[in-house]
Structure 1
């Protein structure tokens, strides 16, 4: 069994025009992960925001040495932002999550428990309640997962699994070796 005391965890957070979310996210992350705060490496990827997201992250960096920023020159899209971030994370595992707190930071400790068993290289967060989504979003999301898994020969993704997940360094290293420029990160 892996012990988090012997490892570090990266948190990868792609952002685009999220100035209102940065500070509440950091507060929630610090509260939820207080027990492992010294084991964290937090990487924000600013995907060409036109608001002052970058400035707010830079102010967080001034007071928190665990935080770093990858600043993209323009908006390339979330998949590219996540890919860029994976090139900068330094942890033995990495949690990819959104800054808007739809991905609950308190679940990260559960992800770590599962990862530490050594049985899992990837731990997905799966949305169990879509009641706050519009009916169009619920139908299109359900259709997407069913269609993707129908056409996928071997690579199935859990229904309602988003980008919120923990991936082991071995998975990160494998992704870094892939030559694709246009990625679909939910399939990794």
Structure 2
């Protein structure tokens, strides 16, 4: 009997996006395999290589040949963390799917706990990061205030400390696959999708090896995606601020006319420059906000695929180029 199908019943898919993680993959694979031994389910580990430039694809190729539980989806280029997760979820065959990072900051030892909650009847088991061992004061504070602002402007509640380490039932997965926007914020989609949800807290350990690939630029872009994807508040702020600025301008005009009529007009270069600079800055800022929304509309109306594969490795894949496989 195929050792990948020794157990009847439910199957679990573990989706792991990786980018230049050659130092972490084998350790993650060992820990995840050890965790699955206590779960008692058929399983597959789906690594999604997001255009790595190191030896990550070679390691994944070897693991997929050694262990039929391992599959690898090699993206044609770097599409970003959220689309890499989406790719893995699109290809998952399990009755439940766990998404997690491959740097071991999402502990594989928690997999049995997530499966236990799923067996209790929860459709979504979301982990909440209470702290990170190697995070500094600035990162903790920026994360805290980001969630405060996000929840203030968004009608969808996003759990502070929520991560992309979660389990979803097959029903949730099929609903998730209906969401095909390019600039995606998966935490918001899952939070807005409904179903019966449960949270589990954990402390994220340090990375096993290497450095985080999430640069400040990527973090800001990700934060912007979260706000823009679930809120029109920035546009409304632009509108209301424009109204207030218009009323203030009318007041200044009335004041200037009054001073001219009563003969008290005086050179007001400083005041004029301050008003011009303030209004000009506000106009540019709000034009930028509108540009962000218009840019996202532009991306969506082109109807381009979210990603495309260079190769699919593993039990059901092939090592040949498959760039025509797009989603």
TM-score by length of 1: 0.92
| Aligned equivalent of 2:29 | 26
User: d(CA) in 2 for partners of 1:43 and 1:130?
Assistant: 25
How far apart are the structure 2 equivalents of 1:64 and 1:116?
26
Matches within 5 A, 1:1-188: 6-36=9-39, 39-118=42-121, 120-153=122-155, 155-187=156-188, 188=190
Unaligned runs of 5+ in 2: 1-6, 191-327
Q: Report the Cα offset of residue 99 of structure 1.
A: 0.6
User: Cα deviation per residue 1:27-52 (whole Å; 9 max; x = unaligned)?
Assistant: 11112221236511111100000001
Give CA-to-partner distance per residue, 1:86-119, whole Å, 9 cap, x none. 111100111100111101111111111111111x
Aligned 8 A contact 2:10 2:41 in 1: no
Instruction: Verify the 8 A CA contact 2:38 2:112 in the aligned structure 1.
Output: no
Figure out how many residues of one structure are paired with residues of the other and give that number. Answer: 183
2: CA distance, partners of 1:137 / 1:61: 36
Counterpart secondary structure, 1:181: coil
Between the aligned partners of 1:104 and 1:87, the Cα distance in structure 2 is 23
C-alpha change, 1:33 and 1:147, in structure 2 (3 Å) is same
Q: Which has the higher contact order (CA 8 A, sep 6+)?
A: 1
Q: Which moved more, 1:86-95 or 1:178-187?
A: 178-187
Per-residue CA deviations over 1:51-79 (Å, capped at 9, x if unaligned) read 01000011000111011111111111001
Contact 1:30–1:37, Cα closer than 8 Å, also in 2: no
1:150 and 1:168 mapped to 2: Cα distance? 29
Query: Helix, strand or coil: the match of 2:183?
Result: coil
CA distance in 1, matches of 2:142, 2:181: 26
**Quick check: 2:48–2:74 contact (8 Å CA) kept in 1?**
yes
3-state SS, counterpart of residue 131 of structure 2:
coil
* Structure 2: distance between partners of 1:173 and 1:146: 30
Q: Distance in 1 between matches of 2:132 and 2:68?
A: 36
Cα distance between partner residues in 2 of 1:114 and 1:121: 9
Question: Are residues 71 and 131 of structure 1, via their aligned partners in 2, closer, same or farther at CA, if it must alter by over 3 Å?
Answer: closer
1:14–1:44 CA contact under 8 A, matched in 2: yes
Q: Name the CA distance, whole Å, in 2 between partners of 1:8 and 1:58.
A: 23
Q: Could you tell me how far apart the structure 2 residues matched to 1:131 and 1:23 are?
A: 22
TM, length-normalised to structure 2:
0.54
Higher CA-based Rg: 2
Identify if the C-alpha distance between structure 1 residues 131 and 106 changes in structure 2 by more than 3 Å, giving closer, same or farther. closer
| Aligned-CA RMSD value | 1.5
